Structure 1
Amino acid sequence: MDAYLYLISASYVSHARFRTLSEALVRAAPCPAHAVRLDASGDGMWSALDALYAQGATRIELRPIGLPFSQSLEKWLPGAAGSWLDRQGAKAPDLFMAAVPQADSRVVHSAARARVALTRIRPKAAGEIGRGWDAPPDFRHHLLVCAGPRCHLKDAPSLADALKVELGRARVRSQCLVTTTGCLFPCNAGPVIVHYPQGHWYRVADLADIRCFVSQALREGTRPHHLLIHQTGDQYEPA
Structure 2
Amino acid sequence: MHGSARADAVLFVVSAYTLSKRALDRLETAAAGAATGLARLIRLEETGPSLIDALDEMRAEGHRRIRVQPLGVPFPESLMSWLPGVMADWRTRGQNADTWLELGPDPATDAEALLAFASATLAHPDPAQPIADVAPRLGKPGWTDPPDFEFHLLVCTGPRCAIHGAAPFTHMLKDELKAAGVFDRCLTTRTGCIYPCNRGPVLALYPHGHWYRLPDQEATRRFVREVLVEGGTAEDLRFHTARAVRDSHTPKQEAAQ
Using the size of structure 1 for normalisation, the TM-score is 0.93
Seen in structure 2, the aligned counterparts of structure 1 residues 129 and 219 have a Cα distance that, compared at 3 Å, is same
Q: How far does residue 15 in structure 1 lie from its aligned partner after superposition?
A: 2.7
Max radius of gyration: which structure?
2
Could you say which residue in structure 1 is the equivalent of 2:152? Answer: 142
Task: State how many pairs are aligned.
Answer: 239
Question: Match of 2:82?
Answer: 76
Give the direction of change, closer, same or farther, for the CA distance of 1:199–1:121 in structure 2 (3 Å limit): same
Question: Alpha carbons of 1:197 and 1:20: their partners in 2 closer, same or farther (altered >3 Å)?
Answer: same
Pairwise CA RMSD: 2.0
- Structure 2 residue 189 is the aligned partner of structure 1 residue 179: yes
Indicate the percent of aligned positions where both proteins have the same amino acid.
Answer: 38
Q: Which aligned runs of 4 or more in structure 1 are off by greater than 6 angstroms? A: 236-239
Partner secondary structure for residue 61 of structure 1: strand
Give 1:207's aligned residue.
217
The equivalent residue for 1:221 is 231
**Hey, what does 2:48 align to over in structure 1?**
42
TM-aligned CA distance change 1:29 to 1:238, over 3 Å: farther
Question: Which protein has the bigger helix share?
Answer: 2
Gaps of 5+ in 2: 1-6, 250-257
- Which segment drifts farther, 35-44 or 89-98? 89-98
**Deviation for aligned residue 1:159:** 1.1
Aligned to 2:243: 233
Q: Are the aligned partners of 1:11 and 1:40 in contact in 2 as well (CA < 8 Å)?
A: yes
Residue among 18, 21, 25 paired with 1:15: 21
Unaligned segments of structure 1, at least 5 residues: none
- 3-state SS of the aligned residue for 2:143? coil
1:212 CA drift (Å) = 1.0
Question: Is contact 1:143–1:176 with CA below 8 Å preserved after alignment?
Answer: yes
Q: Name the structure 2 match of 1:110.
A: 116
Q: 1:58 aligns with which of 57, 64, 67?
A: 64
Deviation at 1:238, TM superposition (A): 7.9
- Tell me which amino acid in the other structure corresponds to 1:57: H
Matches within 5 A, 1:118-157: 118-122=128-132, 124-157=134-167
